[in-house]
Amino acid sequence: MSMQALFENLQISWPAEREAALQVTSPIDGQLLGSLRTHSNADANQAVTNAHAAFVAWRSIPAPQRGALLYAFAQRLRNHKQTLAQVITLECGKITAEAEGEVQEMIDICDFAVGLSRQLYGLTIASERPDHALREIWQPLGPTLVISAFNFPMAVWSWNAALTLVCGNSLVWKPSELTPFCALACHGLLQQCINEMDTAPAGLSQLLIGDCTLGEHLVQHKHVPLVSATGSCRMGQAVGAQVASRFGRSILELGGNNAIIVTEKAELDLALRGLVFGAAGTAGQRCTTTRRLFMHHSIADKLIARLQEVYGQLRIGDPRQQDTLVGPLIHNDAYQNMQRALLKAREAGCHIVGGERCCTEEYPQAYYVRPALVDTRGIWENHAHEVFAPVLYCFDYEDLEDAIARQNAVPQGLSSAIFTRDITEAELFLSARGSDCGIANVNLGTSGAEIGGAFGGEKHTGGGRESDSDAWKSYMRRMTATINYSSQLPLAQGIDFSV
Ligand code: UN1
pLDDT tens by residue, 311-364? 999 999 999 999 999 999 999 999 999 999 999 999 999 999 999 999 999 999
pLDDT tens by residue, 212-249? 999 999 999 999 999 999 999 999 999 999 999 999 99
pLDDT tens by residue, 468-491? 999 999 999 999 999 999 999 999
Average pLDDT over every residue of 206-216: 97
- Band (365; pLDDT cuts 50, 70, 90): very high
- Band (210; pLDDT cuts 50, 70, 90): very high
Closest atom of ligand 1 to CA, residue 256: 2
Residues with CB under 6 A from ligand 1: 105, 151-152, 156, 230, 286-288, 447-449
Q: For the chain, what is the largest distance between any 2 Cα atoms, rounded to a whole number of angstroms? A: 91
Q: What's residue 102's pLDDT?
A: 98
SS3 per-residue string spanning the chain: CCHHHHHHHCCCCCCCCCCCCEEEECCCCCCEEEEECCCCHHHHHHHHHHHHHHHHHHCCCCHHHHHHHHHHHHHHHHHCHHHHHHHHHHHHCCCHHHHHHHHHHHHHHHHHHHHHCCCCCCCEECCCCCCEEEEEEEEECCCEEEECCCCCCCHHHHHHHHHHHHCCCCEEEECCCCCHHHHHHHHHHHHHHHHHCCCCCHHHEEECCCCHHHHHHHHCCCCCCEEEEECCHHHHHHHHHHHHHCCCEEEEECCCCEEEEECCCCCHHHHHHHHHHHHHHHHHCCCCCEEEEEEEHHHHHHHHHHHHHHHHHCCECCCCCCCCCECCCCCHHHHHHHHHHHHHHHHHCCEEECCCEECCCCCCCCCEECCEEEECCCCCCCCCCCCCCCEEEEEEECCHHHHHHHHHCCCEECEEEEECCCHHHHHHHHCCCCCCCCEEEECCCCCCCCCCCEECCEECCCCCCEECCCHHHHHEEEEEEEEECCCCCCCHHHCCCCC
d(CA 285, ligand 1 centre) in Å: 9
Closest atom of ligand 1 to CA, residue 287: 2
Residue nearest to atom 1 of ligand 1 (CA): 287
Q: Looking at the whole model, is its pTM more than 0.85?
A: yes
> In 3D, which of 315, 319, 421, 320 has the Cα closest to residue 370?
315
Average pLDDT over every residue of 434-457: 97
Q: Kindly report the average pLDDT of the chain as a whole number.
A: 98
In whole angstroms, what is the distance from residue 98 CA to residue 448 CA? 10
The residue to mutate among 92, 152, 178, 437, having the most atoms of ligand 1 within 8 angstroms of its beta carbon, is 152
Closest atom of ligand 1 to CA, residue 149: 3
Q: What's residue 201's pLDDT?
A: 98
The residue to mutate among 154, 447, 465, 467, having the most atoms of ligand 1 within 8 angstroms of its beta carbon, is 447
Q: What's residue 154's pLDDT?
A: 98
Catalytic center residues: 253, 287
Q: What's residue 491's pLDDT?
A: 96
In whole angstroms, what is the distance from residue 320 CA to residue 198 CA? 39
d(CA 152, ligand 1 centre) in Å: 7
d(CA 176, ligand 1 centre) in Å: 16
- Band (272; pLDDT cuts 50, 70, 90): very high
Residue nearest to atom 5 of ligand 1 (CA): 287
Q: What's residue 330's pLDDT?
A: 98
d(CA 449, ligand 1 centre) in Å: 6
d(CA 60, ligand 1 centre) in Å: 33
d(CA 288, ligand 1 centre) in Å: 6
Average pLDDT over every residue of 190-217: 97
Closest atom of ligand 1 to CA, residue 286: 2
Q: What's residue 343's pLDDT?
A: 98
Evaluate whether 128 touches 36 at the Cβ level (below 8 Å).
Answer: no
In whole angstroms, what is the distance from residue 261 CA to residue 275 CA? 10
